[in-house]
Amino acid sequence: MQHVIGYDLARGLHIIAVIAWVAGLLMLPRFYAYITTAQPGGELEQTMLKAARNLRAIILTPSLILAWAFGIFLFATYLVADWAAFPGVLGTVPHWFWGKLILVLGLSGYHGFLSAEGRKLAAGQRPRSERYWRLMSEVPFLVAIAVVLLATLEP
């Protein structure tokens, strides 16, 4: 059968999607910090609300989907290498991978949380402080460090 896309190309595209996703997750809470302190109805508030909406629609949602799609493709490639051994082959998946998966599910949940908070901000609610959003903007970086080291060191 002709291969549509090779394993290493999929790995590269996975990493590119992950870079865009994490970059977006680092930026969005910073936009929320500006929105929180901006004068209601003012120019800064409107500009930042639009920037946050565009960031979610153009960068965050597509890169989330692509990071998952290529990640699942890579994992499926690992499983189907010995399809006859399924589902026993799941027992051979290294533990670090399950750790990575839990962290990535957490990152996806954080993404969903940011989307819900974005809708509140757009509706004029300001339930959280600027300091809260500045602190939250560091979270994805810490998780990304752990995920990348799990994937590369394979402890």
Q: Which is nearer to ligand HEM, 71 or 118 (CB)?
A: 71
User: Tokens for 41?
Assistant: 């109805």
Instruction: Output the DSSP codes for 86-148.
Output: TTGGGGGS-HHHHHHHHHHHHHHHHHHHHHHHHHHHHTT---S-HHHHHHHTTHHHHHHHHHH
- Contacts with ligand HEM by CB under 6 A lie at 11, 14-15, 18, 22, 67-68, 71-72, 74-75, 104, 107, 144, 147-148, 151-152
Least Å distance between CB 139 and ligand HEM?
Answer: 13
What Cα–Cα distance (Å) separates residue 107 from each residue in 32, 62, 111, 142? 18, 15, 6, 11
Least Å distance between CB 25 and ligand HEM?
Answer: 10
Q: Which is nearer to ligand HEM, 34 or 68 (CB)?
A: 68
Least Å distance between CB 148 and ligand HEM?
Answer: 5
**Longest alpha-carbon distance in the chain:** 62
In this structure, what are the phi and psi dihedrals at residue 37, rounded to the nearest 5 degrees? -95, -15
Q: Which is nearer to ligand HEM, 52 or 147 (CB)?
A: 147
Q: Which is nearer to ligand HEM, 38 or 150 (CB)?
A: 150
User: Tokens for 103?
Assistant: 């962290």
Least Å distance between CB 68 and ligand HEM?
Answer: 4
- Find the residue with minimal CB distance to ligand HEM: 71
